[in-house]
Amino acid sequence: MAVTSPCRRLFPVPMLLTLVEGRIGIVSGGLAVLQFPLFGALLSWSFWRKSYAAAAAVVSLDLVAAIACFAGVLPDFS
C-alpha cells in the first residue's frame, strides 16, 4: 500500500489536481484544507433546506474522484 492511499481517499479531488499542477501545490493543498469545512457547510445547508440534491451531487463527485484516484490515473509519489 502506498503512503498516499489515505490522501487519495480523503482528498480525491485535490489529488487529481496534481495531474494539472504536476505536484501537490498551492491549489491542491488549499483545496484539501478547505474540503471538509466546505462539505460540512454544504451538508448543513442541505439539511436545513431539506433539499439533498446538492449534497448528493458532491458526494457522488467525491466518490467518482476517489475511484479515479485508485484506478491508476495517478502515479505514486515519492
Where is pLDDT greater, at 40 or 22?
Answer: 40
Predicted structure pTM score = 0.77
Residue 57 Rama label (left phi>0; alpha psi -120 to 50; beta): alpha
Residue 19 placed within a domain: yes
- Which pLDDT band holds residue 77 (cuts at 50, 70, 90)? low
Rounded distance, CA 24 to CA 49, Å?
A: 36
Percent of the chain with pLDDT over 90: 35
How many domains in the chain?
1
Task: Give residue 14's domain range.
Answer: 5-73
Cell of 3: 503512503
Q: Do 47 and 23 contact (CB within 8 A), yes or no?
A: no
